[in-house]
Structure 1
Amino acid sequence: MDLKNLTNTFNDHISQIVELVTDESINHPFGFTFTFNTKNLEKYNKGVNEAYERESFVDLFEKLDGMKNHCLYWFEIEDKKQRDTLIGLLNTYRENKKEVGYRTVPAKALKNYEGSQSNVIYVGVRTGKGEYTKQKHSNIAGRINQHLGYYGTNATQGLQLCSYASGLDINITLKVFQFSNLGDDYLKLIEKAVARHFKPHCGRH
């Protein structure tokens, strides 16, 4: 097989993976969905328990802690009005980054995604440590905790949802897929391909 054929085969495989993980009609044994409402997000206060112990998210983190391998995930909002409200709040929060206590959020999406009507807010990946890690929480659990906004370090980038959406009535769905025996470099390629498919509202893919 020559290089051209290999390249075409590789591209076909990436396309097939994107199609598989984004097909909502398939019940994936390697993925799960969790919907939460921002009214259950308390504002971050230094010293309070992280999201792992919050009643509204116990089921979420129990599931995430069982996912030890590489993961792809995204946050989406089906209701257009709620989506636009959250994006507006996120953009305003980003612009006020000189305020005391500002927590780092993702950059605006690439210019070729501007005007996107996608329901997807953010697409990301998290490398895993395998089944035998001794960490209290899995890598993907830690990453989602950062997105909810409860991680103790302000400079660690995440959606930081509790900093600007706490108490509001916005339904957000998190979708997570786990891959086994996948190289780190391939995970990044899949992330970029899925981002091209969804055209999320923030994050530089």
Structure 2
Amino acid sequence: MELNNIIKEIAKNAAKPLHNVSEIGVKAIKEFEIECSLLDDYNYEDIRESKNFKNLFNDLKKIEGPVLYYWEVTSDHSPYEIVERIKKYANSENSKSIPAIKRNYPQTKILYVGKVKKHIWGRFVQHLGFYKVQRTQGLQLFYWAKELCLDLKVTVLEFEPDMINLMDVLEREMAKELKPILGKHR
């Protein structure tokens, strides 16, 4: 088969899932409320089994993926206040890896936009701050948002499995639209 025809076939197959999403939308949309003041130290206890978060994780485990998600601040905290608290945490001695803070962060309520191919519940463990590997990037909410009493809403958009390899494109475009405070989306 000629190289040009191979490229055409690959592009046609890649376009089908995007066309389906443009026609019918996402598979499902779920929203979750997170009160960071309820975060206890779950580094030595499984947060998925805790009384405050068990229902959340049971719901998250039902989402197969791939997934695009974004965290939105619902409490009355300014981006400045949030960024200052994150910087303080990031400069602390035992901080875990966090998403990049934009130099000129936008005045927005959108904290972060992300994606995952499957197991969104595992990504939540990381974002809440309880993944054991310090280099794994996440919001690390327990370490800075708990004492701030930050309230968040997480919107999870689940896609059909054939979209798995196209999530990078959607994440980048969603971040351009929502302009989150954290994360590189180039």
> Above 0.5 in TM-score?
yes
Q: 1:204 offset after TM fit, Å? A: 0.6
Q: Could you say which residue in structure 2 is the equivalent of 1:52?
A: 48
Runs of 5+ in structure 2 lacking a partner? 1-7
Which residue is 1:184 aligned to? 164
What do you get for the CA RMSD once the two structures are aligned?
A: 2.5
Match of 1:92 in 2: 88
> Could you tell me which amino acid in structure 2 is paired with residue 164 of structure 1?
W
**Aligned-partner residue type, residue 96 of structure 2:** R
Task: Tell me if 1:75 matches 2:105.
Answer: no
In structure 1, the residue matched to 2:176 is 196
In structure 1, the partner of 2:144 is 164
Moved over 4 A (4+): none
Q: TM-score, normalised by structure 2?
A: 0.79
1:168 Cα deviation after fit = 3.5
1:132 is matched with which residue?
none
**Structure 1 unaligned regions, length at least 5:** 22-28, 129-138
User: Structure 1-normalised TM-score?
Assistant: 0.72
Query: May I ask how many residue pairs the two structures share in their alignment?
Result: 169
Cα distance in structure 2, aligned partners of 1:164 and 1:43: 12
Q: Is the 8 A contact 2:112 2:182 kept in 1?
A: yes
Q: Cα distance 1:74–1:39, how it changes in 2: closer, same or farther (>3 A)?
A: same
Contact conserved, 1:43 with 1:166, CA < 8 A, in 2? no
Q: Is the 8 A contact 2:71 2:110 kept in 1?
A: yes
Offset of residue 148 of structure 1: 0.3
Decide which of 88, 97, 102 is 2:95's aligned counterpart. Answer: 102
Matched AA of 2:98: V
Deviation per residue, 1:117-149 (Å, 9 max, x gap) = 121111000002xxxxxxxxxx21001110000
Percent of aligned positions that are identical = 27
Q: Distance in 1 between matches of 2:99 and 2:41?
A: 19
* 1:32 is the counterpart of 2:22: no
- Deviation per CA, 1:87-108, whole angstroms, max 9, x where unpaired? 3211222233xx1x32111111
Q: In the TM superposition, what is the alpha-carbon distance from 1:182 to its structure 2 partner?
A: 2.9
Matched, 1:118 2:108: yes
